[in-house]
Structure 1
Amino acid sequence: MEQQYSKIMVAVDGSNEAELAFRKAVNVAKRNQAELLLAHVIDTRAFQTVSSFDNVLAEQATDMAKQTLDDYEAEAKKDGVEHISKVIEYGAPKVMIANQIPENNQIDLIMLGATGLNAVERLFIGSVSEYVIRNAGCDVLIVRTDLDNKIPEEEE
């Protein structure tokens, strides 16, 4: 029996790596006739560095996330994905992407773009993709290449 995924989550943040993951997630969702969950996590730790927390910053981040997800949703529909849902969460992206969002949404495949952190950055902050690989309760696919399985030129 062939493996079928029924609910695929792709984490998107507007980066080039997330764009590659999104493109492949659309194809996998179509092949599996699966629901595609577009997820964006607003890292609340970024607001902790602001001396006086400003609700305007949080609202702006949320508005930008909504627009990003709406754009991805329109593109996925145009490309033929029939079942699409969206979620915006707040907190630590690693934990949200690896655990909370998949558990709350019965995800059976997580697709992520490979991060561009160097060795020193990984040592101190760790990469989201590394954390998700180690902690997710479902399959994880880290996307490094475009739809032709080629590394995009700016990353070579």
Structure 2
Amino acid sequence: MLTQYQNIQVSVDGSKEADLAFSKAVAIAKRNGAKLEILHVVDTRSFQNVSSFDSAMVEQVSEDAKKRMEEYYQRAQKAGIKDVHYSIEFGSPKTIIAHEFPKQHNIDLIVVGATGLNAVERLLIGSVTEYVTRTANCDILVCRTKEVEDALSD
């Protein structure tokens, strides 16, 4: 029996892997007639190393994230997804993607790219994807392949 997903979360960070995950999430949402929640998490740990905390830097990061999310939103709508939303959250990507956001939005499928970090970063802080697949309470689709249904051109 096939699972009919109703609330799909796709986590994006600007990487090629995240873009692939987005395309696959759109195709799944379209097939299921599901709501698509596009999520970007600004990792606040990156601001802890800045000696003189600059609010202009936070504003710039926020503006860049909003611009990117608007583009994803438009692409999803153009592909025929009627119920699509985006969120920009601040904090720990691991806990927000795996637990907080899915609980708040009744998510039944999380779609993520296989990696978003380089090999050294994965060794030091661990993979967000690995954490999500180990700890989330719903189904996870980890996108590794480049084959994408042509959902965005319909």
TM over 0.5: yes
> In structure 1, how many angstroms separate the alpha carbons of the residues matched to 2:98 and 2:148?
27
Please tell me the root mean square deviation across aligned C-alpha atoms, in Å.
Answer: 1.4
In the TM superposition, what are the counterparts of 1:138-149 in structure 2 within 5 Å? Answer: 138-148=138-148
> In structure 1, how many angstroms separate the alpha carbons of the residues matched to 2:148 and 2:21?
13
Matched to 2:51, the amino acid is S
Name the SS for the 2:9 alignment partner: strand
> In structure 2, how many angstroms separate the alpha carbons of the residues matched to 1:131 and 1:60?
28
> In structure 1, how many angstroms separate the alpha carbons of the residues matched to 2:68 and 2:53?
24
- 1:27-70: CA deviations, max 9, x gaps? 00000000000000000000000011111111111111111110
Matched to 1:107, the amino acid is I
Alignment gaps of 5+ in structure 1:
150-156
Q: CA deviation at 1:124?
A: 2.1
> In structure 2, how many angstroms separate the alpha carbons of the residues matched to 1:23 and 1:126?
25
Partner of 2:90: 90
Matched to 2:26, the amino acid is V
> In structure 1, how many angstroms separate the alpha carbons of the residues matched to 2:42 and 2:32?
29
Percent of pairs with identical residues? 51
Q: CA deviation at 1:2?
A: 2.9
- Number of equivalences: 148
- 1:2-31: CA deviations, max 9, x gaps? 310000000011110000000000000000
- 1:85-124: CA deviations, max 9, x gaps? 1111001111110011111111000000011543x54332
Partner of 1:104: 104
Partner of 1:154: none
Alignment gaps of 5+ in structure 2:
150-154
Report if aligned partners of 2:6, 2:33 keep a CA contact under 8 Å in 1.
yes
Name the SS for the 1:137 alignment partner: coil
> In structure 2, how many angstroms separate the alpha carbons of the residues matched to 1:84 and 1:77?
7
Partner of 2:43: 43
**Segment drifting more, 137-146 vs 27-36:** 137-146
> In structure 1, how many angstroms separate the alpha carbons of the residues matched to 2:54 and 2:121?
28
> In structure 2, how many angstroms separate the alpha carbons of the residues matched to 1:76 and 1:28?
11
Matched to 2:76, the amino acid is A
Alignment pair present for 1:19 and 2:19: yes
Matched to 1:29, the amino acid is A
In the TM superposition, what are the counterparts of 1:25-64 in structure 2 within 5 Å? Answer: 25-64=25-64
> In structure 2, how many angstroms separate the alpha carbons of the residues matched to 1:41 and 1:148?
24
Report if aligned partners of 1:10, 1:25 keep a CA contact under 8 Å in 2.
yes
> In structure 2, how many angstroms separate the alpha carbons of the residues matched to 1:101 and 1:65?
17
Report if aligned partners of 2:12, 2:40 keep a CA contact under 8 Å in 1.
yes
Structure 1 length normalisation: TM-score? 0.90
